[in-house]
Structures are given as C-alpha cells and as structure tokens.
C-alpha cells in the first residue's frame, strides 16, 4: 500500500466535513501506515470515542473505496507515533532511546518504572537548560532563595534538605529550581535528577496503580539522587498521592538525597495536606520569594530583551516595570509583545512606541467610552454645556462641537446611527450621517478642526 | 399556506487568512501566521468581542499548519466544556493546539488545573499553544492564579474591531462564502441603520439569507427593510 493512503483519505474527508470538524477531530490523529494496516492514533480517550462514534464509518468507507480489492485493516487507538512498538517493555525503550530525539513527555508518562539497576544513565531529567543561575536576575526579593539554592546545588543532600521555595505565581520559583538541577548535572553529570510537576507525579502514580506497577514506581523514585517537584500545593486533597510521596520523601531523605519543592505558600498554610507532610516540609529550609521590586523588574526586562537579541531603552523598561507589578511572566509577555510589534513595524522601541503598543493592556479603557462620556468630554473641551449639544441651537459655536461629538460617537462606539441620533436629542439618523461627513470634510480642509478632533480622540482613548 | 422550507445544506465556509478582513490587525495576523515557524511565538493569547473573528483566525492557523503537515487540534470550549476535561490529555504530542472560548473555564477549577497542566506540558515539548477568549487573562474569572500567570506568558493581543468600510467588506465576503452576493447599497444600508457590531450584522445577514431564499427574492434595500423589521 502506498504511504499516501491516509493523505488521499484526508483529501476526501475535506470535501465532506467542515473545517471545524477536521481541525477538532480528524487532524489531531497521528497515523501509522503499514502495507496492510492503517492505524489511527488519538491523543486521548475522548477524541478516540468521538471519532469512533462520528467518523469511523465514513473513514472506513473511504479507505475501502480507495483500496478496492486490497483492503487494509483500519484501527483506532490511543497513542503516539513516537512509540513504535507498543508492546515493547518500557525499560528497553528507555535504554534504546535515541538520545537525539526530543523529550516526549507522553512517553515518559507511559513508563512502567523499570528497576533502577537497568536504567542507570537514562533518566529523563526534564530539566529546561534555559533556566540557569547565570540568567537569573537577583534582587532583594529573591536574594535568600538564590543563595540557598546555589548552596544546595553545590552541596546536595546537606543541611538544606528539603529545600522548600515558596512565593506567589510568576516570581521565579521554577527558574531557580531548574537552575539548581542544571548546576548539579554540571558538577556531576551522572547524577540521577528528575524534575517534574506535582501533577505529573500524581499521573505516574495512578498509571502505576492501574498497571500493577506500584513497586516499580517506588523503586524508580527512591533511586534518584535528587527529586525536584514543582507546585506541591496541587497535592492538596489527593490522599493516596500524599501517602506515596510521604514514603518516597522519607526514603530519599534517609539516603541523603536532595529534595527540592516549590509551593505557592508556606508549608503550614497548605490546606488539604496531611500534617505529617507539612511538618516534614518545614524540616529543611523554607525560603520565600517575594514579588520583585521595581529595580529588579527593570533588570529582568533588560536581561530578557538581551536574550531576544534586542536593546531596551531604560525609560521603556521603567515604563513597563512600573505598570506591570505582579509577576514576571506578565512582564515577559508584555516585552514579547512590544518587541514583536517593533519587528513588525520596523520602528525603534521608544517610550511613545511602548505606550502605544501596550495601550489596551495598561488601561482597558474601551468600556469607558459611551456616548454620554463623549458628549461630556466634547462639551468640556469646547467650553459649552452638555445640554447645548442636545439642544436645537444652531449657532456655529454649538453646531460644530455637536457634529464633532456625533462623529466621535460613530467612530468610538458600536451604536447604530438611529441610536446615536436618539442620544443627541432625538435627531434623525441622516442628520448624524450628515454631521459625520461634514467633520470628515472639514478635517481635510481645516487644520484647527482636525487638531481638535485628534486631541479629543486622544483624550477619550487614554 | 406553508412557507417553503429551505434545504439545510450549508456551503463549506473556508476559514483561511485570505478570507479575513485584516483591518487594524496586521501584527496579530503576522504573529499567528508565524506561530508554527521555528522562530515564531509558541504561545499567544488573542481576545476580543464575540464574532470579531477569533474562531476564524484560530482555524486559519490550523489550516496553515495542516498544509505544512503538522498535526493540529482545534478545541472549541463551547462544544467540549460539557464533557470531560480528558479531552486535554496527551495533546502535547500535537504540534499546534488552539483553544477557543477559554472564558468558559470560569468557575471550573478542574478545567483550569488541566489547562495549567497543558501549558506546562506544551512548553516542555516545545509545541504551539494558542488561546482565544472574550477578555484578556487579567480580566477572566479564574480561581487558579497559576493559570492566569501562565496565560500572560506569551503576547496577549486584542483583535481590533473593523471600521465601517472594512465591516462592509467583511459582510460581503461572508455573504459570498455562503453563496450569495450582497450589493453595496444593501451593505451600506445595513451599516447605516442597525447596530454596527459584527455579531449583530452577521446575524442579520444570516436571517436575510434564509428569508430571501424562502421568499425567492433578490436582496434590495426595500426588501431588507421589510424583511428585517
């Protein structure tokens, strides 16, 4: 069978299904084609069930049409292409794993936790090499945490065990944790280190329970030199996971292995966590990371900009840092946006430019623009009364501002012209249209009017 | 008398970048088109009013990625949120995941946690993750601050509304994709007489399409006036 059976099948499905059906249910499928078999792999049970119920007959009919006398076997299962032979014992997959291939978390998730002796060099550490001590910006808010972490990375299993890093979201806990792991590996490349999110630990455990492999699970985790678990607060309320983790924790600690945990709060304050765990978390060194102060935020922005290969003027860094106070991820997101815009427009990053780019983030002012608001602002600007705008007075000093207010209402709100007419003392919608046209003309010919109009536009949208 | 029923057979609407009136959204479009490039932003959050074209844009990215032979998954929360959050499992194997109507996770802690986990997994696997919602992350009703913080990780960009001229173009494009022509006079009449948000206009367009088919009438201003009364 040609390798193109599925792509032909897709072409036909594209005629029969909507874009959304294709993008939601068909295109997530990975495909393995063999001479006599077409295996469709769904990412999860839900997609599998849905495809099974709604599209499988159709797919089957099309493949039959396409293959005629040489039918292929069609199957649908949960899985991923990376796992070529699903029946292979996982320990051998780990050992045979191509070191060049990227980490596949799903594969990691499918592990059956082979005994330690068989996988010595082959633990997927999951560490992100991009998080190091070198690119961590130190400030008052994180000084202690950084110092303690550096200490741990150079002397694992020592006095600070467990190292418990806590603080609000987006303050750099994960960064420090990876940095410790990376430094440890630098100093001892054979160290068996695993970083994972607490949810992944829970996931592993559930899978191990389902596959009757809890002993392997235990052996795997207890064979590590260092275990780094992120966001431990997600253990709350998960009793079996806590139980399992408690034993792992004790075993590692007794063996002099390092444990590092992060959490969004102090150990004692985690609700839904067993007392014995809380108290153990406090045994080592709980260190707090506070929100970075202004100078640190500015330094972080400079560092990030440097990583992206750009130079950020100081005043721009201060502008962003002053407005985004709460967390570093948001700081990074805003910076990325300013730089993407600069790349796109080819403009230099100036203060004005940054203000303009982040306008909608910094003040969600859209909601404030109402016809009422426009009328008040216009009346104030031209030093007349709001009620004049709604009246029938026809002197130039009133009609011009009235028309300006109409044009602004049309430009800045989504109200219909009849609605705008109503808001201006019950005028007809053609009057509004006329007013808007008049202002458009005048803005071309009369620089004063144009200036007034742009001023008002700025006032209203700032 | 019976009104003649129309056959409920919709023409395939094609959600591509070509079919999208750009307006003031050039930067956003570029970021979306580059999302699956090696150097593109791997996480984007787009937001804007209903019917402004967010779903269209997400699906356009899917089309584009599909043409490059990437696996894609478009998840409209309107459709899946009533089922199980298992639909988010294993998605890190997929090259591009688009989540639409994210605001629907408000007050759904299990979903919030799963999306939080998905962001972590997608980052680790270096895959693309795009979100669309009616509000920016900081305005969404989220109980899980960890999620909010991660949603702000990549650029957060507003989908800007079109001006009247562009709205008219959008109306006419949409009419064409549904298989009929919307004359200039009718389009401008609609913009001058009804609420000018795209959602309302598109609804009216749909109604017009139905009525004109049922009554076998051409679309003229007088007809529209009576039909939409």
For residue A238, give the nearest of A199, A275, A207, A197 by alpha carbon. Answer: A199
pLDDT band for position A385 (50/70/90)?
Answer: very high
Domain limits, CATH 1.10.8.60, in chain B: 164-227
Read off the pLDDT of residues A191-238 as tens digits, 9 standing for 90 and up. Answer: 999 999 998 899 888 889 889 999 999 999 999 999 999 999 999 888
Taking residues A90-99, report their average pLDDT: 35
Which chain A residues have a beta carbon less than 8 Å from that of B73?
23-24, 27-28, 43
Please state the rounded mean pLDDT for residues A405-422.
Answer: 89
The residue among A330, A364, A411 with the most chain B CBs within 10 A of its CB, best to mutate, is A330
Q: What is the pLDDT of residue A270?
A: 87
More confident residue, A291 or A300: A300
Domain limits, CATH 3.40.50.300, in chain B: 2-158
Of residues B124 and A414, which shows the higher confidence score? B124
Best mutation target, B18, B77, B87, to test chain A (most A CBs within 10 A): B87
| CATH number for the segment(s) B2-158 | 3.40.50.300
Q: What is the pLDDT of residue A293?
A: 83
For the segment A170-176, the average pLDDT, to the nearest whole number, is: 90
Contact A191, A311 (CB under 8 A): no
A366 against A362, higher pLDDT: A362
Per-10-residue mean pLDDT, chain B, length 229:
50 76 90 89 91 90 92 93 91 95 93 94 92 92 88 92 90 86 92 85 87 83 86
Contact B159, B28 (CB under 8 A): yes
Please report the pLDDT score of residue B4 as a whole number.
Answer: 55
CA-to-CA dists, residue A35 to A4, A30, A32, A265, angstroms: 11, 17, 10, 56
* Of A95 and A41, more confident: A41
Chain B residues in contact with A308 (beta carbon < 8 A):
none
The CATH code of domain B164-227 reads 1.10.8.60
For B25-51, what is each residue's pLDDT tens digit? 998 999 999 998 888 899 999 999 887
Residue B143 touches chain A, beta carbons under 8 Å: no
Nearest chain B residue to A14, by CA: B12
What is the rounded (10 degree) CA torsion for A355, A359, A362, A363?
130
Which has the higher per-residue pLDDT, B61 or A265? B61
Question: Residue A437: which pLDDT band, with cuts at 50, 70 and 90?
Answer: very high
A 25-84 → B contacts, CB under 8 A = 27-30, 43-47, 78, 80-82
pLDDT for position A363: 59
Question: What are the b/e assignments for A61-84, b being 16+ CB within 10 Å?
Answer: ebbeebbeeeebebebeebbebbe
Mean confidence (pLDDT) of chain A:
84
Angle at CA of residue B154, ends B153 and B159, nearest 5°:
125
């Amino acid at each position: 069978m040609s390798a193109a059976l599925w792509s032909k099948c897709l072409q036909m499905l594209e005629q029969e299904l909507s874009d959304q059906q294709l993008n939601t249910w068909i295109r997530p499928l990975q495909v393995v084609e063999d001479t006599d078999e077409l295996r469709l792999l769904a990412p999860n049970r839900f997609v599998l069930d849905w495809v099974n119920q709604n599209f499988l007959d159709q797919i089957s009919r099309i493949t039959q049409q396409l293959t005629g006398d040489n039918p292929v076997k069609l199957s649908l299962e949960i899985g991923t292409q990376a796992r070529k032979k699903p029946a292979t014992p996982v320990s051998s997959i780990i050992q045979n794993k191509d070191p060049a291939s990227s980490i596949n978390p799903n594969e990691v998730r499918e592990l059956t936790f082979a005994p330690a002796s068989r996988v010595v060099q082959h633990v997927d550490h999951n560490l992100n090499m991009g998080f190091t001590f070198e690119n961590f910006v130190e400030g008052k808010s994180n000084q202690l945490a950084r110092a303690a972490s550096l200490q741990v990375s150079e002397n694992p299993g020592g006095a600070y065990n467990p190292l418990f890093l806590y603080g609000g979201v987006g303050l750099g806990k994960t960064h420090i944790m990876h940095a410790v792991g990376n430094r440890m590996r630098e100093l001892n490349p054979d160290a068996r280190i695993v970083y994972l999110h607490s949810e992944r630990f829970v996931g592993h455990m559930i899978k191990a329970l389902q596959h009757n492999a809890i002993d392997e699970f235990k052996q795997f985790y207890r064979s590590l030199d260092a275990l780094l678990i992120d966001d431990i607060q997600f253990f709350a309320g998960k009793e079996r996971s806590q139980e399992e983790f408690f034993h792992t924790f004790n075993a590692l600690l007794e063996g002099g292995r390092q444990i590092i945990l992060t959490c969004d709060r102090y150990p004692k304050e985690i609700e839904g966590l067993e007392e014995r765990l809380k108290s153990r978390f406090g045994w080592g060194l709980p260190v707090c990371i506070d929100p970075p102060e202004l100078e640190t935020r500015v330094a972080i922005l400079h560092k990030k900009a440097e990583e992206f290969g750009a130079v950020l003027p100081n005043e721009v860094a201060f502008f962003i840092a002053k407005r985004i106070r709460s967390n570093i991820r948001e700081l990074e997101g805003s910076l990325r946006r300013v730089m993407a815009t600069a790349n796109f427009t080819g403009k230099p990053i100036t203060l004005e430019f940054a203000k303009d780019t982040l306008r909608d983030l910094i003040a969600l002012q859209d909601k404030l623009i109402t016809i009422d608001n426009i009328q008040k602002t216009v009346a104030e600007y031209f030093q007349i009364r709001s009620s004049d705008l709604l009246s029938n007075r026809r002197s130039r000093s009133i009609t011009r501002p009235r028309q300006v207010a109409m044009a602004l209402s049309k430009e800045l709100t989504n109200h219909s012209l009849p609605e705008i007419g109503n808001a201006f003392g019950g005028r007809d919608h053609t009057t509004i249209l006329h007013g808007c046209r008049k202002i458009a003309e005048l803005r071309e010919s009369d620089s004063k009017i144009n200036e007034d109009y742009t001023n008002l536009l700025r006032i209203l949208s700032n | 008398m019976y009104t003649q029923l129309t056959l409920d057979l919709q023409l395939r609407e094609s959600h591509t970048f070509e079919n999208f009136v750009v307006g003031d959204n050039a930067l956003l479009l570029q970021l979306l088109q580059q999302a699956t490039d090696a150097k593109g932003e791997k996480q984007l959050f787009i937001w804007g009013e209903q019917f402004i074209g967010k779903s269209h844009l997400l699906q356009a990215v899917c089309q584009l990625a599909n043409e490059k032979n990437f696996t894609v998954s478009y998840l409209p929360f309107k459709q899946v949120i009533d089922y199980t959050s298992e639909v988010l499992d294993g998605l890190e194997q997929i090259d591009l995941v688009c989540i639409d109507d994210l605001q629907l996770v408000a007050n759904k802690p299990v979903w919030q946690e799963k999306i939080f986990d998905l962001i972590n997994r997608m980052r680790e696997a270096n895959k693309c993750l795009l979100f669309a919602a009616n509000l920016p992350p900081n305005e969404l009703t989220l109980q899980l601050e960890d999620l909010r913080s991660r949603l702000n990780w990549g650029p957060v960009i507003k989908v800007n509304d079109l001006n009247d001229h562009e709205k008219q173009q959008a109306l006419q494009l949409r009419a064409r994709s549904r298989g009929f022509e919307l004359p200039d006079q009718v389009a401008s009449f609609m913009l001058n007489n009804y609420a000018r948000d795209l959602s309302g206009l598109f609804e009216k367009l749909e109604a017009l399409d139905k009525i004109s088919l049922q009554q076998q009438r051409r679309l003229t201003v007088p007809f529209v006036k009576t039909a939409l009364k």
